[in-house]
Structure formats: C-alpha cells, structure tokens
Structure 1
Amino acid sequence: MSASKLTGALAIAKSRGAETPSSTATLSIDSITDRVEGDSRPLNPAHIEELADSIAIVGLIAPIAVDSQGRLLAGGHRRAAILLLREQDPDAYAKQFPNEQVPIRRYDFDSQIEPEKALAIEASENEKRRDYTPTEVRAIADRLRAAGYRDAPGKPKKGEKALRPALELIIGKSIRQVRRYLNDIPDDSTEDGQQNQDKQTRSDVLVLNRALSNLQKWANLANKYEKPGKATKDLKSHINRMIQEIEDTIEELEAEENDGS
C-alpha cells in the first residue's frame, strides 16, 4: 500500500472525523487476523523485539484496533510483539494476557466491505495516540527501571536497555516528549513553544561541543606522556568516558531536534 494512499486516508480522517470505536474489550490474540490489503508499512523487527520486552513488564498500554470481524486495523507491531512474547516468554505472556485475551478497540464495520474507512482509521489511530499525564509516564518508567532499564546519558552498556526509547515505543511519543513527561515540563506543542525548545536545544549542543573540544585537548595532552603514572592514566580514562557521554548526548539532542522539525 502506497504512502500516498495513507496520506490521503489521513486527510479524509481529519476532514470527516475519525470513526468512534463501538467498544473496548478483549479478544484472543489468534482471533485477530491480518488486514484485507496487508500492512501499509513494513514491520520493524527491532521495534517488535523492544515492544515484546516492554510488554512483558508493563503489559499492553494501547489496545489493538480491529474491525467487526476481528481484522487488524492498527497495531501491527503490537500484535507481532505479543506473538513474539508468547513464543519467547510464555510465563510473562500468561501473566499479562490471562486466557490469551488481548485488549482491543473494536470498530463496528467490515474492513473488507469498506477498505477506505479501514485505511482512514489506521492513519488516524497511528497519528493520534492517547496523551499520558506525566504521572502515568513516570509510573511506567519506574516499572521499567525496576526491570533493569537504564535512564542516563550515553549508550547503554552491554546487557542494559535504554529507558527513553522504550517509553517512546510504549506511549507513541517522541523522545523529546518523553523527556518532558519525565521532568514534568509544560507542553511545548505550540509553534512558539517549539521554537523556544529548538533554540534551547541548539544552545545546549553549542555548550556541549565547546566542552567536548576542551576535553579532547586534555586527552591529547595526556597522550603525550610516554610513561604516564597511575593518576594520569586514571584521568585519561575519566576524560575518555566523559567524551563518549558528551558525544552520545549531542547525538541524542540533534536526533530529537530532527524529530521535532
């Protein structure tokens, strides 16, 4: 299915108003069948694995959208992640989904008869995810931290999992918005707020780049010693770790700025 069709469907959904689901209930995961026309976008295996890990801890936060016949409308990654969890960790699967029942939002129409409506709902569902309060996001984050997810600048060490990308997948918001939720910062979704945030991000990147430049000079100075003592070796090790942390933070800030643009 082409991107132009999906874009057109989203325009239709916006102009007419999204169809309201007739019910929120549960359905056996095996009863949720494929879309009539297949997925409008390919599934990302890495996202599926990350979602499966998080679902094992916090459950399914956003229900899967289906039509009156149980055909998938939106939530292909979530369905795939649940199936992967069932295969890899049956105990966690049974805990999160008693009797194999999965939370769903059912829409009262047949997507085989009305495929355009199905596409419009898919577009609307994927664009408009529920807004979580900072308290709710922090509660989810606490459960992930307790399960070993890491919330700190820089890349996770071997065996560690990053908290913020996991939250991004779970709640369907950007890493920038996740950070604002965690820090309980007022929303910056207005144009002026977004511009101010972009300016702050660029200012932060500038400061970090200056610090990075100075650290690299110190690291080069330490490298000039042919037989450095323990103190010099320890300092060099600390400097290298700081350089890595700053580089990772700059990369994250620049990625967030690009996501928000």
Structure 2
Amino acid sequence: MARKPIMAGNWKMNMNHVDAVGLVQKLAFTLQDKGYDPEASECVVIPPFTGIRTVQTLIEGDRLPIVHGAQDVSEHDDGAYTGDISADMLAKLGCTYVIVGHSERRQYHGETDELVNAKAVKALSKGLTPIICVGESLEVRKAGQHVEFTVAQVRGALAGIPAGQVAGLVIAYEPVWAIGTGEVATPEDAQEVCGAIRRAVTELYDEATGQSVRIQYGGSVKPGSVTAIMAKPDIDGALVGGASLKPDDFAAIVRFYAMAQA
C-alpha cells in the first residue's frame, strides 16, 4: 500500500509570530524554486500557539503547498483550564495536525499514556489528525527493552480508538536519546521499532489498518541522514526539530525523494 510521506517541522518554543512569516515564506520559496512536488511528500509546519494564526493566514492567502498544525492540545473541550488550548480552537485555526505525547511533554509535564490517549481522542473528535509520539530513553534502550516499551506506549495511546480513525493518524517514533543530541538512530534501529509499531497496530486492529497508518521517525533528522532513513519500508516520514528552523535544510528533508533519485 502506498503511503504518502509526511515531513513535519516541530518548531518547539522558537519563532514568534513575526519570525514565522519569514520562515514560512523562505521555506515556500525554496520548495517551489527546487521544483517541490506536493504529491511526492507532505510538508507540515508546526509553530507555537502564538504563531498559528499568522501561519494560517500566510498559507491560505498565498496558497502555499504547506499545511500547518499545533504542538499540543487539551484533553478538555472548554472551561476553567488556564493555559490550555482546545481541539475546537485549533480546528477553527485551520490546523490539520496536532502533536500529542511528545517526549518533552511526557518528561517535563508528566504526561502519561492515558493522557496522550485522551488528547488523541479529543483531536480526532474535531477532525484533527494527531501525530502520536512514542519512544524510549537511553536507559530503556541499553536494557534491550526499547521495542516492548515503545509498543506499550502505542497500545496505550490508541486505546478505544476505532480502526477507521487509527488508519488515518500518524505515529512518530522518537528515541528520546536522539532528540536534540546530534545522535541519530541508524536506519536499521529506526526500522526495527517502526516495523514493530506497524505489527502492533495490525495485531490490535487488522492488516488494512496496520498498512494504512503512517509512521514517522524523529530525532536529530538532517538532510544528510533522511534519505537512508526514508528508504526503510515502515518509515513514512520524519518529525523534524532543529532542522525545521532552517528553510534550506527543511526543504531538502521534504524533498528527500529528489536526493534519493540523484
């Protein structure tokens, strides 16, 4: 089954709304200048909450070949939850995707698999596509438990979500030890876990669902490493951090297919 690769740039807590304009404009120009084919891969930018409206206006107004998303979502619909942003608010801002369960949310804000599941369910209820993040720490990998640990996170995040919705969402495998460290899992490391994730989804649901879900790799992805990673059969894209703040680098990652053909 052909799965369209998805390259998503997670800006994290970088770029105010003014900076966002320049970044998106340069990214769009670079993509178009290099002959970007939106049918070959999907380009997603994920700014902080403060930049979403600006990015939406720019993308929609200039009809750029880019879609946008958000870095988190509340598990609540509305109410007295200071600082939270609801799925409905994000949908009204034209978001297509929303990250849930990023390792930094799990580490710094104590997010559990149960909370990640609640956020994914809420996102889906408003027509948003969650990018569900999973991945192990260095200690877990050294213990040889990385596959078991990551698959357990997947099972927890998908609890109660019907097959029809699971088939359309995205799972991002991010080994925590490779995020922002400059360390990159080898393509074989990434394939081992991404393959296990696909098998787990197949076991939870069925073959069609397992073959439909898109699985990204994330963790210090760079133009020089993306082609080999994307050559693996169960990897359908990348969740990119630091390199997504550099338009030339991110454009090269989005156009990985051109480098593969070179």
TM-score, scaled to structure 2 = 0.26
| Bigger fraction of residues in helix | 1
TM-score (norm. length: structure 1): 0.26
The structure having more radius of gyration, on CA atoms, is 1
